[in-house]
Amino acid sequence: MPDQLHLIIAGAVLPQGGGEPAPPLQPLTTHLRALLAVMAPHERIECREDDPSTPFELALAQAYGLPGSSGQIPWAAFKTGSIALPCAFIKLCHWQVGADHVRLSPPEDLALDEETSRTLLAAMAPYFLEDGITLAPCGTLPGTWLATGDVFRGLRSVSMDTLMGRHLTRSLLDGAGTPAATLRRLQNEMQMLLYTHPTNEARQQLGLAPVNSFWVTGAGVLDHAIAPASDVQVESRLHAPALRGDMAAHAKAWQAVDADACAALLVVLRAGGDARLTLCGDRAAQSFLPAETGLWSRFKRVSGLQPIWDGREQL
């Protein structure tokens, strides 16, 4: 059993559309309620709707000790161990183009396989290379590639999670006068290339959405290696249901997360270990540490009689 554990839960609450606040964490699951009964709110991260990074990404970057502010956290370099090499992730995607708007579809909706990813990589890589950008598979999901090149040094990139359900604005797609202008031009070129690509023709015959663009995330450079913190446990099972606003799937995922991840953190906490919990929503990430209270108050909270935090403060 570990003597320290920081559990970071992405998608802890369902986002509420139309500018309304997200619903609170009610009813609380069994182990989560027990945790919140003996923990007190600590650090809090808040994001605006137009922030380029999500509260979860900022909380995780802080836990790992990564450099960079919102939109400039070098996730690609960190996850691939690339040192002193400007890089980013290129993610294939589908843009839903309307009469007066463009909307980004969730990447998993493409249902890409390795063969399709390799075929499109071979077709697209020469165009990127002309601008000094090298593309290569990076061992993650099909359709996600590692891109290296000086254009990614200091580039502000926007997380795809912040864009789900939103229109892509001119400010996101323009980039005039910045390094992003090169990538925007490549997006235009790839849209033309992919429009008639045989792979997309085959996909459409199968009823699948065509791959018609790409998105850049996690851009930046690391000056030295940073090892992932061994005490940090990331819980992502709630993430996809939260992005989709699927209440039933979200509730089911919470039961599973509560049964193992939250239960494990509670064991560490009750054994006197260094326990920390961070709940992440689409607008905020709230961390909790063990409360410093008297014996009687602690007994009441362990018994579930006096929760310190009941989810009314919005995430």
Domain containing residue 150: CATH number: 3.30.70
CA dist., res. 81 & res. 131, Å (int):
23
Cα 39–chain centre separation: 25
| pLDDT beyond 70 at 125 | yes
Q: Are residues 83 and 185 in the same domain?
A: yes
CA dist., res. 138 & res. 38, Å (int):
42
- Which residue is listed with tokens 């493409």? 110
- Residue 36 is predicted with a pLDDT of 92
pLDDT tens-place string over residues 19-75: 455 555 556 899 999 999 999 999 999 999 889 999 999 999 999 999 999 999 999
Q: Which domain holds residue 266?
A: 4-65+229-302
Q: Are residues 191 and 86 in the same domain?
A: yes
Residue 104, φ and ψ in degrees, nearest 5 = -90, 125
Q: Are residues 210 and 108 in the same domain?
A: yes
Q: Are residues 48 and 160 in the same domain?
A: no
Has residue 310 been placed in a domain?
A: no
pLDDT tens-place string over residues 175-218: 545 667 899 999 999 999 999 999 999 998 999 999 999 999 99
pLDDT tens-place string over residues 143-187: 999 999 999 998 999 999 888 767 777 666 665 456 678 999 999
In the chain, % of residues over pLDDT 90: 67
- Residue 24 is predicted with a pLDDT of 52
Under a CB-based contact definition with an 8 Å cutoff, are residues 288 and 309 in contact?
yes
| pLDDT beyond 90 at 304 | no
Residue 31, φ and ψ in degrees, nearest 5 = -75, -35
Q: pLDDT class for 309, splitting at 50, 70, 90?
A: low
Residues across the chain: 315
- Residue 32 is predicted with a pLDDT of 95
Has residue 311 been placed in a domain?
A: no
> In terms of pLDDT, which residue wins out, 243 or 25?
243
Q: pLDDT class for 129, splitting at 50, 70, 90?
A: very high
The structural domain count of the chain equals 2
Q: Are residues 203 and 242 in the same domain?
A: no
| pLDDT beyond 50 at 293 | yes
Mean pLDDT of all residues belonging to the chain: 87
Is the backbone peptide bond immediately before 27 cis, with ω within 30 degrees of 0? yes
Segment among 47-51, 251-255, 272-276 with least mean pLDDT: 47-51
Has residue 70 been placed in a domain?
A: no
Q: Are residues 198 and 245 in the same domain?
A: no
Segment among 95-109, 239-253, 262-276, 294-308 with least mean pLDDT: 294-308
Last residue of a domain, one of 194, 220, 246: 220
- Which residue is listed with tokens 């602690």? 298
Q: What is the mean predicted confidence (pLDDT) over 241-248?
A: 90
In the chain, % of residues over pLDDT 70: 84
